[in-house]
């Protein structure tokens, strides 16, 4: 009797696992049991995440909640303590070409001797190869990517002459040049002007229309309902995950942010 019960329990859990596996196999980015630690303080603890294909997902949480770390671990930029991730059901190493990453603007030195178009050409790194010369076709492609973010006129400017918003759009153009299937952006709207925000969000929406998957580390709660299909709330641990209507609620925000948000603020946010 007890043996029978145990067996059926095992079956159930196996079925559940298989279900999860199937989900992970389709997901552009699936993470299981991820823990990342700086020193001995986990920044991300035992997090599962399953990104929906062809949609826009916001990663949301308070400062220091591990949003950027989650992204960097998914990309193999920081090494996790435990856990694993798959990209379209395959290991990261096999799928590099399908991912485009837009790092935080502040992560590079903008006095670096390079022009706008050279930064976008970095996106074509794989096509250029080690010795190949930069051809007219590469330049044309880089220019068309700059066009999409409204920066074509700036192609031969030195990058240090750009405003913060323009720098951000150049980074986005570099990612576009990769023609990836999954786009991961780290705080693309942080400290940019309204024109840039509009330009970036329209590019991201066009990517979604083209069937691409977009994941954005986002800090501005006021625009979540307008911009995104799904949210992933994190505060070291996963708090909630799902469509905005279900996962972006007063309760989940309260859980993620603790007492940091006033109730009136919460009402306003979740109703869009």
Partner 1 sequence: MLLDALLLQLGYNATLVAIGAALLGTAAGITGTFLFLRKRALVSDAVSHATLPGVCIAFLLMAFLGGDGRNLAGLLLGSAVSAGLGLWCMNWLTRNTRLAEDAAIGAVLSVFFGFGMVLLTVIQTLGVGRQAGLEGFLLGSTAGMLYSDALVIAAGGAVTLLLVLLTRRPMTLVAFDPEYAAARGLPVERIDLLMMGLVMAVTVVGLKIVGLILIVALLIIPAVTARFWTERSDQVVLLAGLFGGVAAYIGAALSAAAPNLPTGPIIVLVSFAFFALSLFLAPNRGVLAAVLRHLRFQRRVHLRQGLLALAQGQAIYEGLTLRLLRRAGLVRADGVATTRGRARAAKALRDEKRWEVVRADMAHEAAAALYDGLRDIETVLTQDQILDIDRRIGGRIDGRIDGPGEVLS
- For the CB of residue 4, give the shortest distance to partner 1 in the complex, in Å: 49
CB of 60 to partner 1, least distance (A): 21
What is the 8-class DSSP label of residue 87?
B
As a whole number of angstroms, the distance between CA 160 and CA 46 comes to 40
Q: Does residue number 28 form part of the binding site for partner 1 (CB under 8 A)? A: no
Size of the site for partner 1 (CB under 8 A): 33
Do 89 and 24 form a contact (C-beta atoms < 8 A)? yes
Quick one: which of 100, 150, 147 has its CA closest to 122? 100
Among 61, 80, 150, 188, binds partner 1 (CB under 8 A): 150
Member of 9, 21, 153, 267 binding partner 1 (CB under 8 A): 153
Please list the alpha-helical segments (H only) found in 149-262: 164-177, 194-209, 224-227, 244-247, 250-257
Query: Residue 260 CB, nearest distance to partner 1 (Å)?
Result: 28
- Interface with partner 1, residue 88, by CB under 8 A: no
Report residue 270 CA to chain centroid gap. Answer: 22
In whole angstroms, the minimum distance from the beta carbon of 35 to partner 1 comes to: 19
Closest Cα to residue 256, out of 244, 271, 240? 240
Q: Which of residues 212-271 bind partner 1 (CB under 8 A)?
A: none
d(CA 234, CA 129): 38
Residue 104 Cβ vs partner 1, minimum distance, rounded to whole Å: 8
**CA 62, CA 1: separation in Å to the nearest integer?**
50
Q: Can residue 93 be called a binding residue for partner 1 (CB under 8 A)?
A: yes
β-bridge mates for residue 239, sequence order: none
Residue whose structure tokens are 């949301």: 60
41 is an interface residue for partner 1 by CB under 8 A: no
Of residues 69, 86, 166, 167, which one binds partner 1 by CB under 8 A?
A: 166
Contact footprint for partner 1 (CB under 8 A): 72, 75-77, 93, 96, 99, 101, 103, 107-109, 112-115, 118-119, 122, 125-126, 128, 130-131, 150, 153-154, 158, 163, 166, 174, 184, 195
């Amino acid at each position: 009797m007890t043996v029978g019960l145990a067996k059926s329990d095992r079956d159930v859990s196996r079925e559940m696992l298989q279900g999860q596996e199937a989900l992970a196999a389709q997901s552009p980015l699936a993470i299981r049991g991820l823990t990342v630690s700086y020193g001995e303080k986990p920044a991300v603890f035992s997090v599962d995440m399953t990104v929906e294909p062809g949609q826009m997902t916001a990663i949301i949480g308070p400062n220091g909640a591990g949003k950027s770390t989650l992204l960097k671990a998914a990309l193999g930029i920081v090494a996790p303590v435990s856990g694993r991730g798959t990209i379209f059901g395959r290991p990261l190493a096999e799928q590099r070409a399908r991912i485009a990453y837009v790092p935080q603007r502040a992560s590079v030195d903008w006095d670096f001797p390079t022009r706008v178009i050279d930064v976008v050409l970095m996106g074509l790194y794989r096509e250029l190869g080690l010795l190949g010369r930069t051809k007219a076709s590469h330049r044309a492609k880089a220019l068309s990517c700059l066009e999409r973010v409204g920066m074509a006129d700036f192609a031969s400017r030195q990058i240090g002459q750009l405003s913060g918003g323009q720098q951000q759009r150049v980074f986005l153009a570099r990612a576009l040049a990769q023609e990836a299937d999954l786009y991961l952006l780290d705080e693309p709207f942080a400290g940019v002007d309204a024109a840039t925000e509009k330009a970036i969000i329209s590019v991201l929406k066009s990517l979604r229309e083209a069937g691409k998957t977009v994941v954005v580390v986002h800090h501005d709660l006021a625009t979540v309902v307008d911009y995104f299909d799904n949210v992933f709330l994190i505060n070291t641990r996963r708090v909630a995950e799902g469509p905005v209507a279900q996962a972006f609620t007063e309760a989940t925000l309260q859980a993620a942010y603790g007492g940091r948000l006033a109730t009136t603020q919460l009402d306003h946010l979740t109703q869009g």
